[in-house]
Structure 1
Amino acid sequence: MTEILVIGNSHVASMKTGWDLIKLEYPSVRMEFFAAPVPHFGKLQLTNDGHFGVADDDAEVDEDLAKVMLRLNKRTRISLESFSMVYWAGYPWGLGRIISSLHALNQPAIDKIDDRPAQNRFSLSAFQEICRSAALQNKPSKIWGETLSGRLTLIPMALPSEAMIGNTAPKGMMPWKGYAERGAPISRIFCYYESIFRDMTSEHGINLSSRPDEAIGVSGLTKALYSQGSIRLWNGEPHQENDYSHMNGKYGALVLRDLLDASRGM
């Protein structure tokens, strides 16, 4: 039996519902989930003995955090040592910040990546430095590689849904919306950053999953059908209609299938 743990923030909901859709296809796999929404997930700690969750030491325990974890997971900590693989879903890997920064600079075209005619351009070397800086700031801390070398796979936060194109989008989605509506090569930008981030994480024995080809829309964003009907981690209720960042169980199933089928072929 292959034991897999999925950790992460609210984006774990799509993985959990996705696993329910496909688990009968993988009878030799048992999958558990240990998640919390932002900002609670960011307060969890990984210790040198391989335990992850609410700090359990001489320091004062965060009672509110403990209550959240008990409600969602029925426990406050979990040992990572008993799992053959750990998937970190919804990993905030920094691409969104890069897009926001470029948007603030009036969306410059990037040499050798963006062929659109534009007065405002970035050299590829300048963009590479932006990407390297973002990757350095957002890669997992050293303890993750030391504790889970070869067993941790990051599942980056999905690119927003292309359902926002032509519609009113929340403020945080405007950079993505602007890039998509202007026909920017989002997939090329994604792949360039992905390569840099993958190189950095692999140095520490950490894997990076690729987004499923089937989920990529014409715009480079995620196809609209994969955000429709997404649910909240907290209570299982549907997200608002203009929530373009969370994906549904169909998306989670695509991601998990790709990871599980790849591991079968190893």
Structure 2
Amino acid sequence: MTLLIQYLQLVTVVTVCLGVGLYTIVGPARIRSFYVDYRTRLCHGLAHLSVLGTVFGISMYWRPIGGEVSWTLEYNITHTLYSIEGYLVPTIQELATTKLTWALSLVYVFGYVFLVLFPLVSYLFLDTLRPFRVTALSYIINYLIGLGSYTLFIAYGPRNYMPGEVRGLMYEVWPEIEALTTHINTNTNVFPSLHTSLAVTVALLAWYTRDSYPRWFYLASALAGTIAFSTMYLGLHWGTDVVTGAALGITSVWAASYLAAESDEQSRITTTGQQLFATAGDYIKQYRP
């Protein structure tokens, strides 16, 4: 029941944030113009979202299996991560206060989900859907590379490796949230930090679309920086995880920008999705009573 409540709280808060973001960042004018061809836009977007959703689903399914593979391969890099930076995380935690911990915990959970979802919604309202395609492909690349790293390496976070010197600050002030975070991830999947990689990805994409959504660029940049810092402050990630995650985010955006088609007609994912949707529609019509 606790897990269900946590998910409901997450959905409620993020939905409200998305609504506020659409009104203040996208604006009523773009929202009204969206209705002119919303079916086409949604259809084109759905193809990429389907691929992204499939990759995300595979990622969630594979993580516990990948954990078993990791122990079979026995590439435990936790001590290597510690040897690179030593007491960086404990030093950062010297800044800890109850108010700061609460603020960063809320950003780490609610702010992160909002940050990742908002581009997938707001970019549907732009004149061209290429930013949307680049975003979806960037996320896919992030998840695939991250999942590969999680499968190959065993890496415990600072709070697990140095329990006497690094505190799990978020769980001290908000113990209920541990049910949600442990359900999504395991404590050996920290290298690289996908929170950081996806946050950096969104910030870079926000810079590319800053002429259309200037407010989003400033908000995304602030959230991305805060999320990257919070992963260390809360004792969840090493600084090396954050730096590697940032590099992954940059690489993902570069690769997605290269791979993404300039137009919907040139996008293999879009055209394949249209064909599948049309086939499904014909099948439903044929067998509808």
- Relative to the length of structure 2, the TM-score reads 0.27
Larger RCO, structures 1/2 (Cα 8 Å, 6+ apart)? 2
Q: Higher strand share goes to which structure?
A: 1
Structure number with bigger Rg: 2
